[in-house]
Structure 1
Amino acid sequence: MSTQRNPWPALYALVFGFFMILLDMTIVAVANTAIMKSLNADVSQVIWVTSAYLLAYAVPLLVTGRLGDRFGPKNIYLAGLAVFTLASLWCTMSNSIDMLIAARAVQGLGAALMTPQTMAVITRTFPPEKRGAAMGLWGGAAGLATLVGPILGGVLVDWQGWRWIFCVNIPIGILAFALALWLVPSLPTHKHKFDLVGVALSGVGMFLLVFGIQEGNTYNWDPAIWTVIVAGIAVLILFVVNQARNTGEPLVPLRLLRDRSFALSNLAIASMGAAVTASMVPAYLYLEAVRGYSSTQSAFVFAPMAIVSGVLAPLAGKFADRVPAWVIPTAGFSLNSAATITFAALMTTTSPIILLALVGVVMGIGSAGVWAPLASVATRNLPLQLAGAGAGVYNTTRQIASALGSAGISALIAARMESHGLGSLNGSDSVGTAGALPASILDKFSASLGQSMYLPGVILLIGVVSSMLISRTRTESRALASPTSAPAGNEVLRTTG
């Protein structure tokens, strides 16, 4: 006799750990000023604390999805969780900005091992008609974590200091490990050849591009920096050519992009990832350095946004199964873009904080309509043998865009500050403490941050257009499947007795 195993407990366990690693994408945003003061760092250096995490998170995702297929998603998830938790301990012990950046890079590697496994388990264990609800939980965790991170970070920074935003990961990581060991099943594995050339090309190309963009202003955009950027683009182009010519098993199976929904969902989630990381830095610098708010006060300005997004995201995931795939993401991106541009216009020294919080609520509503519905659309046509690769590509797209968003906003803030004659503020300037900035520069500093905030608002328009072009129907042909492919249903987990 055989019975089908309920996949929900495993998903709950995976999402618990997934939520933790996504918190670390944004939890540092509210601690930037405290880290600057404690480690005597400048703006460009402290943004590398986030960028190092995002870059180390993004680059390995293409291969870690395949590792899950080859060695089992449970095993790779547990390995990543162990690396992430130990790196969190390293972060708490860091006594220099360089050590903290290195520890964050190792954290990102652990997160890269974990993330594709969560999405692949959903694809492999939930049938397509129930995947929307499962992705609602997954996407809700992703969206909520990006918003809750700064709130939790603010409380911890004001309570015990910035080191505690990493210290709390240790007990949570241990609990997440125990839950996954208990609840996540061992799925069948598939043999894969690993494209080492593709891994090397993608890693080198991304590092050169992100480093060049983020450090451009530091080096006054001299020819050497432009050489680094151009070299990064050239290596990435070479990577794409290599993948197209790979007759074995490429790191990125380009046939994934034959599916219109998958391709457009990737472009849309890239705009969301870039916009979220790009908006956090100017928003929290504004609240702390211009308005004189503490870390906790700054975080609670966006508390209504986090609550609204957390409540609505699972509902959006369920509703997405009942309407054309383009409807909810298009509405979500439109609301998010409009709200972000409005927030940028309100970033003055006298704008009512309640108005900024209300704009944040609109952002929360928009975010709820993006994360879960897009993830469901991206995976609905993936055959089982491409579950790991598809999850890896989707998450890589989001994380690479997040790293570029972080690098881009760093360069733009520095450029706008320089245009207003402010130069580079560092930890010795006591940025972020009430009344620390002289009144004579508050307007200029606020203007620099507000002008930078328009960047994520414009980036979100890419998501609007991409979502509008997604297939107008709920089903489409399995263009990805090979002649021997299994249908993209659930991979039944059975126990026999």
Structure 2
Amino acid sequence: MAEDRAVSAGQRWVLVLASVGSFMVVLDLLAVATALTAIQRDLGASLADLEWTVNAYTLSFAVLLMTGAALGDRFGRRRLFAGGLALFSLASAACAVAPSAGALIAARTVQGVGAAVVMPLALGLLNATFPPHRRGWALGIYGGVTGLAALLGPVIGGVLTQALTWEWIFWLNVPIGLVAMPLVLARVKESFGAGAATDPPGLLLFSGAAVGLVWGLVRAEAAGWGSAEVVGALVGGVVFAGLFVLRQTRAATPMLPVRLFRSRAFAAGNAVIFLLNGSLTGAIFFIAQYLQVALGHDPLEAGLRLLPWGLAPFLIAPRAGALADRLGERPLVVAGLTSYSVGLAWLALVSTGDAPYLSLVGPMTLGGIGFALAIPAVTKAVVSTGAPGDIGKASGAFGTMRQLGAAFGIATLSAAFSASGTYATADSFTDGFRTAIAVAAGLTVAGVVFGAMIPKAHRRL
């Protein structure tokens, strides 16, 4: 038993380097949010430019996740992971030296491409390296580091923007990536997915589906849900998605084997992460603004006041992963999502235009405990479904659903906010904020339903 639980040097290197890759991607995603005002001032960016500073990254990230996973399976996960780190680092440097808003948006697009390679292959390497009975523990550590990035992102963004300049948010990635890349090549064992060929028609169809769906979601608030642009993009995305599924049933080497969906753990787990990440991303987006617009804090103060939200995942996620190994995934997913939804409902009730900060600590902490329990468990449920050769494909699908959920969550919560609030006054913003957070709680309750569908034990397909 002790030998079964021992971790080899090779496994430790994979865990550390996969976690570093995830840390870079998540830290950058959240740190940028606190620098948008400074970017607008220095580059003369319009509101649309600021939106695309975020959306360009989200779009390329979500669209290419499955492609990154498929290419890693074909050409080697280690090799592509190192290449993704290099691309992400170079794009970060390009963001830092961007002379205009257009150049920054272009560099952010390339940065999203790098992130789309790094994230699924970090997860693929991790799951290929650790056996099923230790996978939950490893995913817990990985999730804890990712939670630390979420915890520190707004704080680091505020500190660097106020103490130095916004460019340092991007410069921070460069030395980390340049150190990590040769270590990956030297310390990580190469692994491949099942089959030796890719599916170019599948790649094109999936890319079309992802572009349509993400474009429609990120443009919904600005252009309107009923606009021809948004409706056309969403309908086109759905059509391409249907064609992609049809292609996967006939392809000799499918990007995403349809047999994976025969597993309730895979199907229900992907639905859970879609809803949970939608709720989580949208809630963080609005909580950070609530602390500034309604309660009057500056970016650094707002980042520091978000600490209870991220502290629980950092402390709990490693233990939650180990519990998933012992108890199974379903109890932790259901308990975690229930805790998170209660925390959000509590937050919606206590939020006012002059709410004392201490009244927010309890619901943020409860919410953090909830998703810290759920995320490692649902990750293990999804990626442990298939045979070892399918891990990359399962990881890519999981990452894609996570990013689509993020775009869906921000779009849905923004629509809920606009229906009952504005940015005109603290009270008006609070009205919209409470509605948006209530919708986030509702998305999580729907996630509980799907979480209950995850079987107590599931077999590989």
State TM-score, norm by structure 1.
0.85
Does the C-alpha gap of structure 1 residues 41 and 291 become closer, same or farther in structure 2, counting only changes over 3 Å? farther
State how far apart, in whole Å, the 1-side matches of 2:52 and 2:281 are.
12
User: Which amino acid counterpart does residue 358 of structure 1 have in structure 2?
Assistant: G
Per-residue Cα deviation, 1:357-400 (whole angstroms, up to 9, x for no partner)? 23211122112102211222222232112121111111111122
Q: How many residues align?
A: 453
Q: How many Å separate the matches in 1 of 2:158 and 2:364? A: 17
SS in 2 for 1:399: helix
Question: Does 1:302 find its partner at 2:286?
Answer: no
Residue 246 (structure 2) aligns with: 241
- For 1:55, the equivalent position in structure 2 comes to 59
Correspondent of 1:368 among 369, 372, 379: 372
Q: Which has the higher helix share?
A: 2
What does 1:93-492 align with in structure 2 at a 5 Å threshold? 93-187=97-191, 191-220=195-224, 221-244=226-249, 246-413=250-417, 415-416=418-419, 441-473=425-457, 476-478=458-460, 480=461
For residue 157 of structure 1, what is the amino acid of its counterpart? Answer: T
User: Hey, what's the Cα distance between the residues in 2 that align with 1:40 and 1:341?
Assistant: 39
1:77-107 Cα deviation digits (max 9, x unpaired): 0100011001111111234433322221211
1:326 deviates by: 0.8
Q: Secondary structure at the match of 1:250?
A: coil
* Pairwise CA distance, 1:405: 2.4
1:247 deviates by 3.4
> Residue 82 of structure 1 aligns with which residue?
86
| Contact map agreement 1:290 1:349 (CA 8 A) in 2 | yes
Shift of 1:258: 1.2
CA drift at 1:40:
4.7
Q: Secondary structure at the match of 1:161?
A: coil
1:92 matched to 2:96? The reply is yes
- Residue 434 of structure 1 is matched in structure 2 by none
Identity level (%): 32
Aligned residues of 1:26 and 1:277 also touching (Cα < 8 A): no
Take 1:14 and 1:384, find their aligned partners in 2: how far apart are those partners? Answer: 18
Any conservation in 2 of the 1:66–1:192 contact (CA below 8 Å)?
A: no
Moved more, 379-388 or 181-190: 181-190
Deviation of the 1:76 alpha carbon: 0.3
Q: Distance in 1 between matches of 2:227 and 2:62?
A: 27
Distance 1:382 1:222, change over 3 A: closer
Q: How many Å apart are 1:190 and its aligned residue?
A: 5.3
Q: Secondary structure at the match of 1:477?
A: coil
CA separation of 1:355 and 1:84: change in aligned 2, threshold 3 A: same
In 2, are the aligned partners of 1:309 and 1:365 still within 8 Å (CA)? yes
Shift of the 211–188 alpha-carbon distance from structure 1 to 2, 3 Å rule, reads closer
Structure 2 alignment gaps of length 5 or more: 1-7
CA distance in 1, matches of 2:29, 2:276: 13
CA contact (8 A) 1:50 1:406 kept: no
Is the contact made by 1:47 and 1:410 (CA closer than 8 Å) also made in structure 2?
Answer: no
Distance in 1 (CA, whole Å) between partners of 2:49 and 2:431 is: 22
Distance (whole Å) between structure 2 residues aligned to residue 217 and residue 122 of structure 1: 37
CA shift, 1:443, in A, is 1.6
One-letter amino acid of the structure 1 residue matched with residue 235 of structure 2: V
Q: Runs of 5+ in structure 1 lacking a partner?
A: 426-439, 481-497
Contact 2:282 2:409 in 1 (8 A): yes
- Contact 1:157–1:165 under 8 Å retained in 2: yes
8 Å CA contact 1:124, 1:384 repeated in 2? yes
C-alpha contact (below 8 Å) 1:59/1:206 kept by paired residues:
yes
CA shift in 2, pair 1:187/1:199, >3 Å: closer
Task: Tell which structure's C-alpha radius of gyration is larger.
Answer: 1
- Contact 1:26 1:280 (C-alpha < 8 Å) held by counterparts: no
Asked if the contact 2:69/2:392 (under 8 Å) is kept, the reply is: yes
Q: Which amino acid aligns with 2:427?
A: D
Which residue identity lines up with residue 229 of structure 1 in the other structure? L
Kept after mapping to 1: 8 A contact 2:209/2:238: yes
- Judged with a 3 Å threshold, the aligned counterparts in structure 2 of structure 1 residues 72 and 34 are, in CA distance, closer, same or farther, namely same
2: CA distance, partners of 1:31 / 1:340: 26
- Bigger RCO (CA 8 Å, 6+ sep): 1
2:75 maps to: 71
Q: After superposition, give the CA deviation of every residue in 1:420-455 in whole Å (9 maximum; x if it has no partner).
A: 5x5xx7xxxxxxxxxxxxxx7232233223322333
- The amino acid across from 1:460 in the alignment is T
Distance in 2, matches of 1:392 and 1:261, equals 16
SS of 2:326's equivalent in the other structure is coil
Runs of 4+ in 1 over 6 A off after TM superposition: none
Aligned to 1:429: none
Determine the C-alpha separation between the residues in 1 that align with 2:426 and 2:271: 37
In the TM superposition, residue 14 of structure 1 has moved relative to its aligned partner by 2.1
